[in-house]
Amino acid sequence: MNAWAVLGGLLLAGSADAAACCVTTSQFGGRLSPWETAAVTLGVSGAPTVGWWDEHGAWSPDAPGATDLELRASLAAILALGESFEVSGRVPWLLNRRTADGLTDVATAPGDASLAVRWAPMEGVGLNLGLVLPLGRSTATTRSPLGADVTGRGLWAVSGAVTVEQLELPWYLQLSIGATVPLPSGGQRFGPSLEVSVAGGRELTDGLVVHLRGRFTVESPRLVDGAAVANSDAHELAVGPSVSWKFHPHWTLDAAVETGLFANGMGDNRQGRVAGSTSLRYGFF
């Protein structure tokens, strides 16, 4: 099988999104195979926390009895506009379950949606421009005791990314560099974030590809009335394997796991989660 076919499915699936309380809502991935005109993907993911990095990068496991599970269902679509342009959108729905001190807090609501445009000036290179639509509930308006009703960051954001792919069948390598810039809101401005990811994979048999991906995300400090908030910068390193199975010319099944590296310094000012996701993709051609 042509590896471009498998890559198309993989890149749409991507990895599970970051925690709702620290939403980054990446929209850097996702593209069509060269012969496809559109694709639709339904994905689900689960991401429990296992601990957190404080503002100095010290790792602590979750306290006994404290849990935070994010379940997410996403519907995504990509549409080709000519030979080198694509538009895509994704709408997530979240269900959060949090417990602490014997109290259980469960809530469900839409998350932040995203729109993106991709331009491929040449084979193997993609330029993405994206927009995050704050459809989710932010912490500023939370009403539930443990914040389970928080499903978004409450901010519009724009993003841009460059993705480069290299194929040497049966191997492939992908490098993505992207930035997300939240727009100011309510007297504060979250710092822009930069995400660098490297993914590589190998086609094992016809239609079955395994992948390994590493991601590094860094976010600059939050600004309030123009002044930086101390210790509000953040970073996180995460890795995970995934598998893509194109079991039908139109259908691709993906499964992925992503985990932080739960040790001092491997993150900063972030919750640590292990995320598992699976998605089913249909390509039109």
Q: Which of 2, 37, 139, 166 binds other proteins (CB under 8 A)?
A: 139
Q: Two tokens at 263?
A: 């040790």
**Rounded least distance, CB 52 to other proteins, Å:** 5
CA 106/CA 26 separation, integer angstroms: 25
Asked if 132 touches other proteins (CB under 8 A), the answer is: no
CA 233/CA 218 separation, integer angstroms: 8
**Rounded least distance, CB 148 to other proteins, Å:** 8
Of 54 and 214, CB closest to other proteins:
54
Of 213 and 270, CB closest to other proteins:
270
Beta bridge pairs of residue 217: 195, 236
* Tokens 């001190």 sit on residue: 101
Instruction: Return the range that interacts with other proteins (CB under 8 A); candidates 40-48, 141-149, 207-215, 277-285.
Output: 141-149
CA distances from residue 113 to 141, 155, 272, 277 in whole angstroms, order as listed? 18, 11, 23, 18
Of 186 and 249, CB closest to other proteins:
186
Closest CA to 56 of 240, 276, 266: 266
Instruction: Return the range that interacts with other proteins (CB under 8 A); candidates 31-39, 80-88, 134-142, 195-203.
Output: 134-142
Q: Which of 5, 7, 21, 94 binds other proteins (CB under 8 A)?
A: 21
CB neighbour list of residue 196: distance below 8 Å, 6 or more residues apart: 175, 176, 177, 215, 216, 217
Asked if 146 touches other proteins (CB under 8 A), the answer is: yes
**Rounded least distance, CB 63 to other proteins, Å:** 4
Instruction: Return the range that interacts with other proteins (CB under 8 A); candidates 81-89, 97-105, 111-119, 164-172.
Output: 97-105
Q: Which of 142, 216, 266, 276 binds other proteins (CB under 8 A)?
A: 142
Asked if 63 touches other proteins (CB under 8 A), the answer is: yes
**Chain-centre distance of CA 235, in angstroms?**
15
CA 178/CA 184 separation, integer angstroms: 19
CA 151/CA 71 separation, integer angstroms: 11
**Rounded least distance, CB 269 to other proteins, Å:** 5
Q: For residues 219-258, which are near other proteins according to CB under 8 A? A: 222, 229-232
Asked if 55 touches other proteins (CB under 8 A), the answer is: yes
CA distances from residue 72 to 18, 35, 88, 145, 260 in whole angstroms, order as listed? 11, 30, 19, 21, 18
Q: Two tokens at 200?
A: 């590589």
Closest CA to 262 of 69, 53, 63, 55: 53
- Name the site residues for other proteins (rule: CB under 8 A): 21-22, 52, 54-55, 60, 62-63, 66, 68, 98, 100-101, 103, 139-140, 142-147, 150, 188, 190, 222, 229-232, 269, 271
